[in-house]
Amino acid sequence: MGQGMADNTDLQFILDERVRLEREGLLVRPRTLESPQGAWITVDGRKVLNLASNNYLGLANHPRLKEAAHEAIDAFGVGPAAVRTIAGTMSLHSELERKLARFKKVEAVLSFQSGFNSNIAVIPALVGKEDIIFSDELNHASIIDGCRLSGAAVIRYDHCNPESLERKVSEYYRGGSTGRALIITDGVFSMDGDIAPLPGLVEVGEKHDAILMVDDAHGEGVLGQGGRGVVDHFKLHGRVHVEVGTLSKAFGVVGGFVAGKSILVEHLRQKGRPFLFSSAATPADTAACCAAVDILESSDEPVRRLWSNTRYFRKKMQDAGFNTGKSETPIVPVMLGEAKTAQEFSRRLFERDVFAMAIGFPTVPMGKARIRVMISATHSRQDLDCGVERFCEVGRELQVIR
């Protein structure tokens, strides 16, 4: 009976939506990697220049991380088989959290299975339906979902605009309010590559006694001394209440964390639902993350190489006539406008052995589709010159540049 009911269910709306997405150039077709991450990778059977991954420092296939993962499997097995609060907290998890706290210059850190889980853990643990959140209008989807789960009212302020935030807080969070106010911003915005004006946001938060939270997914390993992130970049240690980071980008593995005062971390051990109800990260992943922190603490050479490559590539692209938006980081958006144009541009690049993905609505606003180029410390100047040359070839074909 159950099977018959399933067969009779009308799912035409799914087919209709797929047709619409394809017609508008918004249908996502993930390609398949067949090699480790690196400057050059194998995708769908083709060796291509990799300008698409978040492997900023080249750690995703680093020998020290692989060795640490192998040793952890031998010592601890392949999985924890439990949530952290029951039988899933291994000595490796505690070691990673100690290392990250030292690296981030905070009292304590709690690690999670992903950056996404970190956001949906911390936001509902800090605010509820009696409270209010002030969120940058371009914040990441995981922040948006965490805000929705909290039940708090959400007020969006203009992107990277402390003056707009001040107006919104003054209007909606007046003195004498019994609820809490939480200000949330990305540290580096993943589609545009711009950096949050954190000093101005801190001033607003302190003036109104609001909690300030930064999701620094694309700042960890990229900004600050040795990649310590956006708070270190602006020298604002002790003035940002919550730092959320990811271990799946510059750190090269997978996972996330929340950094701050010990009282915050202890609160999340009691209230963070992904910590309470989802199995712990695997020993191999956790050990590899420990090795990544060790590398970053031992040398800032990978970070300096990343920034040298970024400046080189961006200037070459701008000199060629491409619009790279307002990026200040290794995220280099090549602005194209229409989603169909971006998808065709990406397809033609792939035919020329360059892997760079098109980004369209709803990830970015309508009419602001782009190719998002991700620069890595592993790229050579020859690699970057090759990428620019191929972009120019396709740009001329599609009349994006002259």
pLDDT of residue 26: 77
Residue type at 350 in one-letter notation: F
3-state secondary structure the chain: CHHHHHHHCCCHHHHHHHHHHHHCCCCCCCCCECCCCCCEEEECCEEEEECCCCCCCCHHHCHHHHHHHHHHHHHHCCCCCCEHHHHHCCHHHHHHHHHHHHHHCCCEEEEECCHHHHHHHHHHHHCCCCCEEEEECCCCHHHHHHHHHHCCEEEEECCCCHHHHHHHHHHHCCCCCCCCEEEEEECECCCCCCECCHHHHHHHHHHCCCEEEEECCCCCCCCCHHHCCHHHHCCCCCCCCEEEEECCCCCCCCCEEEEECHHHHHHHHHHCHHHHHCECCCHHHHHHHHHHHHHHHHCCHHHHHHHHHHHHHHHHHHHCCCCCCCCCCCEEEEEEECHHHHHHHHHHHHHCCEECCEECCCCCCCCCEEEEEECCCCCCHHHHHHHHHHHHHHHHHCCCCC
Hey, what are 122's tokens?
């911390």
Domain ranges of the chain: 25-56+300-397, 63-298
pLDDT of residue 122: 98
CATH 3.20.20.10 corresponds to the domain 63-298:
no
pLDDT of residue 144: 97
Indicate if 168 belongs to the active site: no
Give me the residue label for tokens 């590559």: 193
**Of 218, 233, 368, 379, catalytic:** 218
Give me the residue label for tokens 């910590």: 275
Hey, what are 329's tokens?
């980081």
Q: At a CB cut-off of 8 Å and minimum separation 6, what does 22 contact? A: none
- Output phi, psi for 94, to 5 deg: -65, -40
pLDDT of residue 7: 59
Instruction: Note the pTM of the prediction, 2 decimals.
Output: 0.92
Q: Are 378 and 39 in contact (CB under 8 A)?
A: yes
**Secondary-structure class of domain 25-56+300-397 per CATH:** alpha beta
pLDDT of residue 1: 44
Indicate if 208 belongs to the active site: no
pLDDT of residue 23: 85
**Of 111, 135, 190, 346, catalytic:** 190
Over its length of 402 residues, how does the chain's per-residue pLDDT go in tens digits?
A: 455 555 556 888 988 999 998 888 778 788 899 999 999 999 999 999 999 999 999 999 999 999 999 999 999 999 999 999 999 999 999 999 999 999 999 999 999 999 999 999 999 999 999 999 999 999 999 999 999 999 999 999 999 999 999 999 999 997 656 689 999 999 999 999 999 999 999 999 999 999 999 999 999 999 999 999 999 999 999 999 999 999 999 999 999 999 999 999 999 999 999 999 999 999 999 999 999 999 999 999 999 999 999 999 999 999 999 999 999 999 999 999 998 999 999 999 999 999 999 998 888 888 999 999 999 999 999 999 999 999 999 999 999 987
**Of 140, 168, 249, 316, catalytic:** 249
Classify the phi-psi angles of 77: left when phi > 0, otherwise alpha if psi is within -120 to 50, otherwise beta.
left
Indicate if 190 belongs to the active site: yes
